[in-house]
């Protein structure tokens, strides 16, 4: 089942005896655990019928004992086991899962990995209730996730602002949600759109000195601007680590190369193949005009080389600041 299907069923009070929530993306696991903890029972029922346990503090026998308790003045007894991957003797849960109480809702938050699907216990989980695998989103899916998350709350975001957040926050949904909450709270009452300016003012990401502006400077052959950004990054390395800068440039120029060799250059095909918002297509068109496929391939080779150097491979003394300036110089020299 998907996250959306599970939440929909919960809202419609369609409960099952056992929920195994597993996977390397903790965000959805935590949200489902929170929803069940906060909404299945009425406030006056929670004192006697809601049990929260942490895996590192208990074993399977303790969870089974809790799950076998009958509810008091309530239809359900809810047992939520957080960090269930740390639960002692986890496989012993089969003695309960194979025959769970219908009056208990047992929720297991098995985070950062997936339970072995070959085991008999996994098959029992599938028979007893819901198994949900929470997979980490690829970075190219994050702008869409940001847009959808804000839309559900009645807000929107400028496409470039969404891309900028993605480049600086990566794919950590928990962290992204926290920053979005901060941005929504900071907006004036009559504003519902998050802009690059609001990101600069509230998160500290510069609207003039960031990887998007560096990409533009390289495409526009604006050496002065490119080196100004490199200087800014050099003096703000904690917020602008060279590995993040190189990764962002790598994704950009890889897509420029793909755009250049594509035969079908319709907007729909470009957006789908490159996994970009249609708003950004013109930037890739312009970049492909400046850097032909051979030069783009050369840039990609340089990015790989300097990624290794930034990690100490073949680099004896160059600082991240020096390496970035060297990289920019060599990219500009290609044309």
CATH T-level assignment (fold) for domain 139-203: Helicase, Ruva Protein; domain 3 (1.10.8)
Residue 302 pLDDT more than 90?
yes
**Helix, coil or strand: residue 39:** helix
Distance CA(202)–CA(200), nearest Å, equals 6
Residue 264 Cα distances to 11, 29, 273, angstroms? 44, 40, 10
Asked if 77 and 103 touch (Cβ cutoff 8 Å), the reply is yes
Domains in the chain: boundaries: 3-133, 139-203, 211-333
Equal CATH topology for 3-133 and 139-203? no
Report pLDDT digits (tens) over 150-197: 999 999 999 889 988 888 888 889 999 999 999 999 999 889 999 988
Distance CA(108)–CA(115), nearest Å, equals 11
- Which strands sit side by side in the sheet containing 50-54, from one edge to the other? 50-54, 77-82, 104-111, 18-23, 129-133
CATH code at 211-333? 1.20.272.10
Q: How many CB atoms lie within 10 A of CB 312?
A: 8
**Helix, coil or strand: residue 104:** strand
- Give me the pLDDT at residue 238, please: 86
Architecture of the domain whose range is 3-133:
3-Layer(aba) Sandwich (3.40)
Closest CA relative to residue 125, chosen from 114, 135, 112: 114
- Give me the pLDDT at residue 273, please: 87
Q: Which of 251-260, 265-274, 305-314, 316-325 shows the highest mean pLDDT? A: 251-260
Residue 126 Cα distances to 98, 122, 129, 324, 325, angstroms? 10, 6, 6, 51, 55
Interacting residues of 44 by C-beta distance below 8 A, sequence separation 6+: none
Percent of the chain whose pLDDT exceeds 70: 99
Q: Which two tokens stand for residue 152?
A: 């559900």
**Helix, coil or strand: residue 50:** strand
Phi–psi pair at 144, nearest 5 degrees: -65, -40
Residue 28 pLDDT more than 80?
yes
CA 280 to chain centre: 21
Q: Which two tokens stand for residue 301?
A: 């080779």
Report pLDDT digits (tens) over 98-155: 999 999 999 999 999 999 999 999 999 999 999 999 999 887 789 889 999 999 999 9
Residue 315 pLDDT more than 80?
no
Quote the mean pLDDT of the chain.
93
- Give me the pLDDT at residue 204, please: 78
Distance CA(140)–CA(147), nearest Å, equals 13
Asked if 70 and 102 touch (Cβ cutoff 8 Å), the reply is no
Interacting residues of 6 by C-beta distance below 8 A, sequence separation 6+: 19, 32, 130, 132
Residue 90 pLDDT more than 80?
yes
Confidence class for position 295, pLDDT limits 50, 70, 90: very high
Interacting residues of 318 by C-beta distance below 8 A, sequence separation 6+: 309, 326
Residue range 231-238: mean pLDDT, rounded: 90
Q: Which helix (H) or strand (E) holds 175?
A: helix 173-186
Distance CA(333)–CA(335), nearest Å, equals 5
Distance CA(230)–CA(261), nearest Å, equals 30
Q: How many CB atoms lie within 10 A of CB 6?
A: 21
Placement of tokens 């850097």 in the chain: 291
Closest CA relative to residue 169, chosen from 230, 241, 231, 277: 241
Residue 316 pLDDT more than 80?
no
């Amino acid at each position: 089942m998907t996250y959306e299907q599970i939440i929909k069923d919960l809202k419609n009070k369609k409960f099952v005896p056992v929920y195994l929530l597993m996977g390397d993306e903790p965000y959805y696991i935590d949200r489902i655990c929170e929803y069940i903890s906060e909404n299945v029972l009425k406030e006056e029922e929670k004192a006697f019928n809601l049990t929260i346990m942490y895996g590192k503090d208990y074993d399977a026998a303790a969870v089974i004992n809790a799950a076998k308790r009958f509810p008091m003045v309530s239809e359900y007894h809810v047992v939520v086991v957080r960090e269930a991957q740390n639960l002692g003797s986890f496989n012993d849960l089969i003695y309960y899962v194979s025959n769970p109480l219908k009056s208990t809702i047992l929720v297991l938050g098995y985070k950062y990995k997936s339970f072995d699907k070959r085991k008999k216990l996994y098959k029992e989980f599938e028979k007893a209730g819901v198994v949900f695998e929470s997979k980490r989103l690829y970075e190219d899916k994050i702008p869409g996730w940001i847009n959808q998350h804000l839309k559900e709350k009645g807000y929107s975001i400028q496409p470039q602002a969404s891309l900028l957040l993605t480049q600086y926050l990566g794919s950590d949904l928990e962290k992204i949600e926290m920053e979005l909450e901060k941005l929504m709270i900071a907006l004036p009452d009559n504003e519902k759109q998050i802009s690059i300016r609001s990101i600069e003012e509230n998160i500290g990401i510069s609207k003039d000195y960031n990887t998007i502006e560096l990409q533009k400077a390289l495409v526009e052959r604006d050496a002065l601007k490119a080196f100004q950004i490199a200087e800014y990054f050099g003096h703000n390395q904690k917020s602008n680590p060279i590995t993040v800068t190189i990764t962002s440039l790598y994704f950009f120029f890889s897509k420029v190369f793909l755009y250049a060799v594509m035969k079908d250059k319709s907007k729909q095909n470009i957006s789908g193949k490159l996994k970009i918002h249609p708003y950004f297509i013109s930037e890739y068109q312009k970049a492909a005009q400046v850097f032909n496929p051979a030069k783009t391939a050369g840039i990609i080779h340089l990015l790989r080389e300097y990624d290794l150097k930034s990690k100490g491979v073949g680099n004896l003394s160059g600082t991240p600041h020096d390496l970035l300036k060297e990289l920019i110089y060599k990219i500009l020299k290609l044309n």
